[in-house]
Amino acid sequence: MSAPLYHLRNQFPALNQPDLVYLDNAATTQKPERVLSAMNRFYREQNANVHRGAHRLSDLATRTFEGARDKVQSFINAPAREEVIFTRGTTESMNLLAQSLGSHLLQPGDEILIDTWAHHACIVPWQQMAMRTGAKLIPIPLTGDGDLDLDAYQALLGPKTRVVSLTQVSNALGKVAPLEVMLPEARAAGAITIVDGAQAVAHLEIDVQTLGCDFYAFSGHKCYGPTGIGVLWGRRELLEQMPPYQYGGEMIQQVSFEGSQFNRLPYKFEAGTPAIAEAIGLGEALAFIDELDRKALQAHETALMERVKAGMAALPGVEAIAGRGHNLGALSFRVEGEHHQDIGILLDQAGVAVRCGHHCCQPLMQALGLKGSCRVSFAAYNSLEEVDAFLSALKEITEFLDD
């Protein structure tokens, strides 16, 4: 293990366990000490509610909390901090959009395009809103290699397309969407564009202005931050038009029994006491990522993926799913004749943590003709030695099952 990687791994307390090869990062990443310390420091030294108090602790908590919003704005290059909304994660962000934007925008016969890679959290909110409004939810199909079918996508775009929701990086396959092609085409069709960036933020540099989408969502726990916090960024003109998603607390400016006046952005969409410590932890996680050598990180993660693909190809009966071409961060696989859950349990007994199941992507599994798969996924702190340990364990398991 190289000295820089050794130094990086030492920042993650959870990795200092014997016989643990953690390769389930697409589900959640481990947290560096600086994130844990920032959250602990808030509770020990700054604990107060934000925005409302007139005392010193409340002012300090507010400034620290809003400083985290500034870090998010810088990290994704958002035009304005008011466009950065804290949510509980990508799931809540998608529910907010479906409920608020969907109820404001959709009419009977309108069409919502969503990719077949999509996580359930992206599918179900729009599915339910389509049922309520009479709109249609239309999946963007895949090619034989598991990529999004751009010809089919272009054919589906039309005058009734109101919303296009795209996954930047597939959580199950590690495939990367060609957003530089798909987003302009959606805009040309007059559609509102949404990007699920949950699997992208830990691996790619994100610039929402360069992407040109209307909304971008991600979760803190996928990028070395805490659970229970996420971000929805949206264009101000659209956020201003959308009705609130929840009511009460900070999203209220004035209340009477005759009616209520809602707060300005971003607080209009942040009802109740926010996840203050979690937002602070997220800000610290993004600062951690910003301090990494991103080019070196991408080269390292590419080396991890190439090693695992080559190793799987050398194992009889092991198939990398949609493994041709580029996979970022995650790769699913299957062992011929074996249930994915059994493989996951045997790997766990060998000290290797992977994810097994449908990965909250049942429509994708159906499209691939699978009931589920095993998935290996990487983070900045993973090493080539860990890839070799995983491959060695997988080899032993397949040989044992063949006996």
pLDDT digits (tens, 9 = 90+) for 200-230: 999 999 999 999 999 999 999 999 999 999 9
User: What DSSP letter does each residue of 325-382 carry, written as one string?
Assistant: S---SEEEEEETTS-HHHHHHHHHHTTEE-EEE-TT-HHHHHHHT-S-EEEEE--TT-
Sort strands 111-115 and 161-167 into parallel, antiparallel or unpaired: parallel
Closest CA to 380 of 316, 270, 245, 285: 285
pLDDT score recorded for residue 255 = 84
Q: Which pLDDT tens digit goes with each residue over 37-79?
A: 999 999 999 999 999 778 999 999 999 999 999 999 999 999 9
Closest CA to 397 of 322, 315, 321: 315
Q: What is the pTM of this model?
A: 0.96
Q: Is the pLDDT of residue 133 over 90?
A: yes
pLDDT score recorded for residue 181 = 98
Q: Is the pLDDT of residue 256 over 90?
A: no
Give percent of the chain above pLDDT 90: 90
Tokens linked to 160: 């009734």
The CA distance from 182 to 23, in Å, is 31
Catalytic residue check, 213: no
Burial 328-360 (b: 16+ CB within 10 A, else e): bbbbbbbbeebebeebbebbeeeebbbbbbbbb
Q: Which pLDDT tens digit goes with each residue over 282-322?
A: 999 999 999 999 999 999 999 999 999 999 999 999 999 99
Between the two ends of the chain, the Cα-to-Cα distance in Å is 34
Q: For the residues 187-210, what does the mean pLDDT come to? A: 97
pLDDT score recorded for residue 154 = 98
pLDDT score recorded for residue 54 = 83
Annotated catalytic residue, options 213, 360, 361, 374 = 360
Q: For the residues 179-194, what does the mean pLDDT come to? A: 98
pLDDT score recorded for residue 265 = 93
- The residue type found at 344 is G
Mean pLDDT computed over every residue of the chain = 95
The CA distance from 104 to 97, in Å, is 10
What three-state secondary structure class fits 165? strand
Q: Can you list the domains of the chain with their CATH numbers? A: 3-23+293-402 (3.90.1150.10), 36-290 (3.40.640.10)
pLDDT score recorded for residue 391 = 98
Closest CA to 200 of 226, 182, 180, 174: 174
pLDDT score recorded for residue 15 = 95
Tokens linked to 253: 């400016």
Confidence of residue 244 (pLDDT cuts 50, 70, 90): very high
3-state secondary structure 58-107: HHHHHHHHHHHHHHHHHHHCCCCHHHEEEECCHHHHHHHHHHHHHHHHCC
What are the distances in angstroms from CA 309 to CA 55, 320, 394? 57, 7, 13
Q: For the residues 377-381, what does the mean pLDDT come to? A: 97
